[in-house]
Chain A
Amino acid sequence: VSPADVPGDRDLIERARRGDRDAFGFLVVRHQDRIYTAVLRFCGDEEDARDVVQRAFINAWRRLDSFKGDSAFSTWMYRIAFNESVTFRREGGRRKLVSMTGRDDEAGPEPADDRRPSDRLESEENRRKVQDALNLVDPEERKILILKELEDRSYDEIAEILEIPKGTVRSRLFRARESLREKLTVLMKAEGTSGSRIASKGQ
């Protein structure tokens, strides 16, 4: 947690608690990218992610009083967002978590990609493959992979976000990496065959 961030967030939270909606708006804008990324990678679908993140922030607004000042707002938000993802999923979500048709044409292109089109095409392919692999990993392991590998959170923060002991972070992360590596390998090997076959095998 960068010390420079904390006063800003803390101040905004204080104001938001007193009913200042604009202050909360700033918090949303400040944190939405990282929360959205985490949720997007967790549920693998842009529309679902948008819904989940929106719900998560609305939820956070309603529960601002339960926010403990001793942790970072982002930590708290990750937790709410992951919980919301799971709830969303349980309620059926917009569509299935892993698109069993494999070819999820619904997923639009990644926004804000300023690379050359040829590179973009290749990385788009890559991205889909990696996301597919991630989708096959157990949800708890997926969370921890996202937090470490994509969000670069420390073990301490991860422990706090997932509400598990730090020792568990270490061991679970180890297993999660093994698992992802395995899924990736399978997916890479299956190149040329339809992704859907792989995906259903993993179920």
Chain B
Amino acid sequence: MSCGFDKSLIAAHYDGETTPGERAEVERHLAGCPECARDLASMKDLSAALKPLGRAPAPMSIAEGVMRAIQPPPSRRPWVHWGFAAAAALFLGALTFYVVDGGTLKSPDESLAIAARKPAASDLERETSRDDAVALRKMPAAEHVEAPPLPSAPAPAGAAAAPSAEPEAPLLDTAGGQKKNEENSRMAARMRASVPVVRVTSTDAAAARALVEEFLKERKLKVAPGAPLLGRSALIRDHYLQVELTEPESALLEKRLAELKDTSLAKVTLEDEKKRVAEKLAKDKAVQLAAPADEEAAKESEKDADALNEHTRGFIGPARRKIIFVFEPAPARK
């Protein structure tokens, strides 16, 4: 204080923020002023005292949270992304959904038959979800008829048989409906094709399952995230686990599973597994479950696959992908 020198200049000198002229001035002064030299020293002490507050690594949850937050809302209206061809397919997806939701059906074939019998748009609107109903109303009839097939779809013979310009007519056309139904399920299948199924065969299937659940818990991962791709039957609940893991995570988990006693792993595709599920359910005389599981999965997976893609694309670092684990009891070794 008493020396009258500008103390903030000493600080600026310490911070390396002085001009060459200032620096010379400060250095000259410091040489002859113990008080200011002390100030400089105490500034060094202060910096040293702050040392313990070094850089703290940001928790990864920050980046994850940010990426989640900046994703577009998960595919509420997929047709916005897919354009009109997809919109047409979705339109029929909605119809399919309605039919399945109607609840009285036993097989996809019958559902088509009923779809064909269903007469009026007002019924559809009542039964489908509100969003879908809005889409139905907004979709001009002419565009309906002229909806181009999806790029990968071969032109089916029945397509030409949808000639009517009346709004509801294409809906009533079984052949056209079937065609679009096919396209629809093909599209859904494409999206699901990438989900691997890991078949875990073990003498202690319960332990294997517990291991997976523990693994998820350790990492605070949700058990069974997203729509169940294989449906919701009791069979699925008891024997299947749908999870989301990064590649390293799934590699580690698979390694741990393989280390279990009398346990073997095999990878199959979701489509194969679906067939197996359907067969099993049929064998268990639970045919009525098979259709809903299938159709519901197709419908939900549209949303889900889209959300999954967005999710996977948007994530920095290793992305989590869906994997389904199946647990099967193996006969105990004698």
Q: A residues touching B (Cβ–Cβ < 8 Å)?
A: 21-22, 24-26, 28-29, 32-37, 40-41, 50, 53-54, 57-58, 61, 110-112, 123, 126-127, 130-131, 134, 145, 148-150, 154-155, 170-171, 173-174, 177, 180-181, 184
Secondary structure dominating the interface of A:
helix
Chain A proximity mask over B2-39: 1 for CB below 8 Å, otherwise 0: 00000110011001010000000000000000000000
Residues 43 to 74 of chain B near chain A (Cβ within 8 Å):
43, 46-47, 49-50, 52-59, 61-63, 65-67, 69-71
Q: Which residue of B lies closest to A112 (CB)?
A: B57
Among candidates A35, A61, A148, residue contacting B70 with C-beta atoms closer than 8 Å: A61
**Chain B residues in 8 Å Cβ range of A36:** 56-59, 62
**A51 CB → nearest B CB, Å:** 9
Q: Are B66 and A54 in contact (CB under 8 A)?
A: yes
State whether the Cβ of B108 lies closer than 8 Å to any Cβ in chain A.
no
Q: Are B70's CB and A21's CB within 8 A? A: yes
Known contacts A50-B62, A53-B62; decide if A177 and B53 are in contact (CB<8 Å): no
Which residues of chain B come closer than 8 Å to A131, judged between CB atoms?
53
Assess the A24–B15 pair: CB atoms within 8 A.
no
How near does chain A come to B165, taking the closest CB pair, in angstroms? 39
B84 at the interface (CB under 8 A from A): no
Of A21, A53, A181, most B-chain CB atoms within 10 Å: A21
Is B70's CB under 8 angstroms from A170's CB?
A: no
Q: A112–B315 Cα gap in the complex (Å)?
A: 24
Count residues on chain B whose CB falls below 8 Å from chain A CBs: 34
Which chain A residues lie closer than 8 Å to B46 at the CB level?
A: 149, 177, 180-181, 184
Given known pairs A24-B70, A130-B52, the reply for A111 and B57 (CB within 8 Å) is yes
> How far apart sit A171 and B9, CA to CA, in the bound complex (Å)?
9
Q: How far is the CA of A134 from the CA of B52 in the complex (A)?
A: 12
- Chain A residues with Cβ below 8 Å from B317 are 29
Main secondary structure of the interface of B (DSSP, over half): helix
Contact A37 B55 (CB under 8 A): yes
Query: What CA separation (Å) do A21 and B72 show in the bound complex?
Result: 10
- For B43, the closest partner residue in chain A by CB is A177
A181 to B58 CA separation, bound complex (whole angstroms): 28
Q: In whole angstroms, how far apart are the Cα atoms of A184 and B46 in the complex?
A: 9
A-B contact pairs, 11 of them (CB 8 A): A21-B71, A33-B57, A36-B57, A37-B54, A37-B56, A57-B66, A58-B69, A61-B69, A127-B53, A131-B53, A148-B15
**A110 near B56: Cβ-Cβ < 8 Å:** yes
Whether B63 and A123, one on each chain, are in contact in the complex, defined by CB atoms closer than 8 angstroms, is no
Chain A CB within 8 A of B288 CB = no
What 0/1 readout, one digit per residue, does chain B (129-147) give for beta carbons within 8 Å of chain A?
0000000000000000000
Say yes or no: B8 contacts A174, CB within 8 Å: yes
The contact of B62 among A26, A37, A57, A111, by CB within 8 Å, is A57
With A28-B316, A149-B47, A173-B11 as given contacts, are A33 and B58 in contact (CB-CB < 8 Å)?
yes
Name the A residues within 8 Å of B63 (CB-CB): 25, 28-29, 32
B161, chain A: closest CB distance, angstroms: 42
Are B66 and A28 in touch, CB under 8 angstroms? yes
Q: Which 7 A-B pairs have the closest CB atoms?
A: A25-B316, A36-B58, A32-B58, A127-B52, A174-B8, A57-B66, A126-B52
